[in-house]
A and B are shown apart, each in its own frame.
Chain A
Amino acid sequence: MPPDPWAPLRATTTARIGLNRTGDAPGLDAVLSFQLAHARARDAVHTSLDSAALAEAIAPAPVVHVCSQAPDRATYLRRPDLGRRLDPACRDRLTGPCEVAFVLADGLSAIAVQRHAPPFLRACLDRLTGWEIGPVVIATQARVALGDEIGAALHARLCAVLIGERPGLSVADSLGVYLTWQPQPGRRDSERNCISNIHAAGLSYDAAADMLVWLITEAARRKLTGVGLKPQTGADLIAAMQSSPHKEIDLEPERFPMPVRDPPVFERDASAEK
């Protein structure tokens, strides 16, 4: 069998290049492989978060369960505004104050949260000894900005929302983190910092936890998050991470689908999770 001339090119990209052909169409193997990837992504969007199992996975951390005003997935997908508002019935469950609140939100991939939030949260809590951490809030049908109302109810100085990112064909279980100083309804996306691409083939739990703890520490010191905290070049973050014991950090450029397709470095708001 002759060597595949595409092999060295395939090593350089995950793009679907060099597909075999019959007539104008790609081969059936390529078609089915694409369909499986799309099916997995759609399953990730439509799978419900198993909140009880998630609470068990992060035990013994105290947990509060809340939901947004989007009653189901179909509404959630059409009405991002409802996913940003807390169901009033849940408000009384949230009491404070605390320094840092963690919200585990299903977002567009419940499996990302189910899979990666427990070990990532553990890595963060291990690094945040001495900080006053609020009860861990598990939120369903939730968008990033739901953390503003939750954080305000908890009287939190900082709110970290761990949320399932919009699934792609290559990764359906990517976790993102959004950090907001003095969370309250009306905060703009430019007032948050984001860490993205936490999954098996992306940013490791330890690397992401180092970045988040650096952001938390700096946010508390400078009393802000967002563009003002964002290093234009990422140099501060690189310096912070190079001093980290976890050196296998891969500083991959951000890759978020934006309505505008000019994705800036270390700045985003629109992966799907507005």
Chain B
Amino acid sequence: MPTYTSNFQGERHRFTGLTDLLAKASPRRSGDELAGLAAATDAQRVAARSVLADLPLTVFLNEALVPYETDEVTRLILDSHDTAAFAPVAHLTVGGLRDWLLSYDATPERLSVLAPGLTPEMVAAVSKLMRNQDLISVASRCRVVTAFRNTQGLPGRLGSRLQPNHPTDDPRGIGAAIIDGLLLGCGDAVIGINPAADSVAGGIALLEMLETLRLRHDIPAQSCVLAHVTNTLEMIRRGAPVDLVFQSIAGTEAANNGFGVNLSILREARDAALSLKRGTVGTNVMYFETGQGAALSADAHHGIDQQTVEARAYAVARAFSPLLVNTVVGFIGPEYLYDGKQIIRAGLEDHFCGKLLGVPMGVDVCYTNHAEADQDDMDSLMTLLTVAGVNFLIAVPGADDVMLNYQSASFHDMLYLRTQFGLQAAPEFESWLERMDLKDRAGRIGAQPPALLSLPGWEAPDAA
């Protein structure tokens, strides 16, 4: 294992291998400290960055952080690496890539062409040399456009996942939250339910409810019940109206095993969803969630810092041409991301890494009650991410998820972001909002909705 030494402005430090160097170069966060990987001092952290900056990018093609022989994610990363796309930057160091990304030469077109030439380790490494404004500046130039029943990721657009969870999966309670979100113009990215119970029959019932609602109102949006991929496969076998296949994924084979998945089952699920041919304007049928700390919490991080191993999850995601990918950035708790500052930094890193790799990246801007964070921190992060051109954000009624017991962004937050930055939802969905008379003359979501939408089997009392 190579040893790296720094002599940066008199800072003498020794780092044992690439993994150690990456971890020590990471901005401070509780998860790396918990894992015993973090820099011991702030000066050591900067020294690690100075060493990292001088490494050639090719080192990441020659030295795998997790052995090729024992990890299918490493095999996926290296076997699918596009050397032609990599060629224009193949001569650069990590620091050189940072400079190029920030240069005026890094146009959306060039970044898009470069994406398949970059590996997650390269992208994670360069992010460690970048300030928050750098992460925003570069990510805002990355375009990843995907489509199913509407088109996500277009310039001038901000998508939202309507997350209408209910503690007991009561379809009426879920329906009430969906109505609330639709009337506030949310849900173009997906209407996505986290079921409380792990049941195939229950999932099918929810999917059928979503399907009836969608058909009744001709909503150009996709739906998803975020069940385990094997359950979704079973739902497809039983003829359920599955639009998107969801799965939580992570950046190592062992961590994915902890989630009960591997690349082969994901492939099978994607094929099954494609066979249904339910997309009208596109064929991106997968939806993935990730989050820093997932691999460590499964004790499957292989001594890699949590941000780098998270970026490897995006390599898994991009192999399946997903419609949507989001990091659930503050969900995992303060032992991984302690406070608002760490959550904000991680959210910007995840979005940057995903976008640079060509992944249609969204974010669940969120926190738990034992983290040192509050809604002010979420306001900051959602605003920064919108400046960075995030594809979509998660939105729940009043920012309070009553099933998963954590706080995210609200439907109202989506209105604020759209107004503030002059953005709209996906074009097909925006036309629907107009058809449904949900917008006022100024083009904003009206303060007084014309009537409550009716739910299957449950007509709104004042629908007349």
- Interface residues in chain A, defined as those with a beta carbon under 8 Å from any beta carbon in chain B: 3, 5, 8-10, 12-19, 21, 23-26, 30, 34-35, 37-38, 41-42, 44-45, 77-81, 108, 166-170, 252-255, 257, 259-265, 270, 272, 274
Extra 12 A-B pairs, beta carbons < 8 Å, given A5-B462, A170-B402: A15-B400, A16-B400, A17-B180, A45-B370, A169-B369, A170-B405, A255-B405, A259-B293, A262-B226, A263-B197, A263-B198, A270-B297
Residues of B near A21 (CB, < 8 A) are 412, 447
Whether B406 pairs with A257 at a CB distance below 8 angstroms is yes
Residues of B154-178 contacting chain A, CB below 8 A: 164-170, 172-177
Interface size band for B: 35 or more
- Interface residues in chain B, defined as those with a beta carbon under 8 Å from any beta carbon in chain A: 30, 33-34, 164-170, 172-177, 179-180, 194, 196-199, 226-228, 248, 259, 289, 291, 293-294, 297-298, 328, 331-335, 338, 368-370, 374-375, 396-400, 402-407, 410, 412, 415-416, 419, 444, 447, 452, 460-462
Whether B30 pairs with A168 at a CB distance below 8 angstroms is no
Q: How far is the CA of A9 from the CA of B399 in the complex (A)?
A: 18
Whether B369 pairs with A45 at a CB distance below 8 angstroms is yes
Residues of B near A79 (CB, < 8 A) are 34, 335
Identity of the chain A residue whose Cβ is nearest the Cβ of B194 in the assembled complex = A261
**Contact A77 to B335, CB < 8 A, known contacts A261-B289, A261-B404:** yes
Whether B196 pairs with A255 at a CB distance below 8 angstroms is yes
**Contact A108 to B405, CB < 8 A, known contacts A15-B177, A17-B176, A37-B400:** no
Whether A18 pairs with B461 at a CB distance below 8 angstroms is no
Identity of the chain B residue whose Cβ is nearest the Cβ of A197 in the assembled complex = B167
Q: How far is the CA of A272 from the CA of B369 in the complex (A)?
A: 10
Q: How far is the CA of A257 from the CA of B368 in the complex (A)?
A: 10
Q: Tell me which of B30, B170, B375 contacts A13 (CB under 8 A).
A: B170
Whether B397 pairs with A16 at a CB distance below 8 angstroms is yes
Q: How far is the CA of A270 from the CA of B293 in the complex (A)?
A: 13
Q: How far is the CA of A172 from the CA of B412 in the complex (A)?
A: 25
Q: Tell me which of B226, B259, B412, B461 contacts A25 (CB under 8 A).
A: B412
**Contact A259 to B332, CB < 8 A, known contacts A13-B166, A252-B168:** yes
Identity of the chain A residue whose Cβ is nearest the Cβ of B371 in the assembled complex = A77
Whether A263 pairs with B294 at a CB distance below 8 angstroms is no
Q: How far is the CA of A168 from the CA of B259 in the complex (A)?
A: 25
Whether B369 pairs with A41 at a CB distance below 8 angstroms is yes
Expressed in whole angstroms, the minimum distance between the Cβ of B90 and any Cβ of chain A is 36
Whether B405 pairs with A169 at a CB distance below 8 angstroms is yes
**Contact A78 to B334, CB < 8 A, known contacts A12-B170, A34-B398:** yes
Residues of B near A42 (CB, < 8 A) are 369
**Contact A265 to B198, CB < 8 A, known contacts A5-B462, A77-B335, A259-B331:** yes
28 A-B residue pairs with Cβ-Cβ distance under 8 Å, sorted by A, are A5-B460, A9-B179, A12-B172, A15-B396, A23-B419, A25-B416, A26-B398, A30-B398, A34-B398, A34-B400, A35-B375, A37-B400, A38-B407, A42-B369, A78-B34, A79-B34, A168-B406, A170-B405, A253-B168, A254-B197, A255-B404, A255-B405, A257-B404, A259-B248, A259-B331, A261-B248, A261-B289, A263-B194
